[in-house]
Amino acid sequence: MPDATGLELIAQELRDADADAVLETLHFRGKATIIVEPSKIGWVLERLRGKGFSFLASVHGLDYYPEEPRLGVHYELLDMESVDRLTVKLRVHTEAPEVPSVTPEWPTADHQEREIYDMFGVEFSGHPDLRRILMPEDYEGFPQRRDFPVGGEPVLFTFNDAYGTDYTQ
């Protein structure tokens, strides 16, 4: 991991090139994080690739309910030569959950962006094949959002078939 000073130097280089790109830095428990403007994610990741962070290990979504902006996307980058890890985070509002896709430059993000779209509803503009990957195409809602109703559909077995759909009786 870049130490706190190394993280600030990386962030300052990004700010020098584009003052609006980096919103904040965070170094907590040895983990370096850069929080960026959502519209600048492609540009930031390309600049970090030029600094050696050439492996996109994972892309995942989060729901910060009840805070706003509520939905988050985290990108985990690795520098394989110096064995450094860097997290790049962004957050978007639920009213306009749109982030530019990084799939054209980072092909490994393809299915991960689709999963975030499917589970959280974050739309990745410019994605070559943005559609549901885990849930059926006609499914309504986003199951990993924290306001999604907890529960499920009753499973009928032959021993409770006589009770109909209410399996709790």
And the tokens for 38? Answer: 């959502």
What is the structure's pLDDT at 150?
A: 75
pLDDT in tens, the chain (169 residues): 578 888 999 999 999 999 999 999 999 998 999 999 999 999 999 999 999 999 999 999 999 999 999 999 999 999 999 989 999 999 999 999 999 999 999 999 999 999 999 999 999 999 999 999 999 999 889 999 998 877 766 655 565 555 555 545 5
What is the structure's pLDDT at 1?
A: 59
What is the structure's pLDDT at 92?
A: 98
Closest CA to 124 of 94, 97, 144, 93: 97
Helix or strand holding residue 124 (H, E): strand 123-125
Closest CA to 136 of 161, 124, 150, 153: 153
Q: What is the pTM assigned to this prediction?
A: 0.86
28 strand-pairing partners: 31
d(CA 64, CA 70): 5
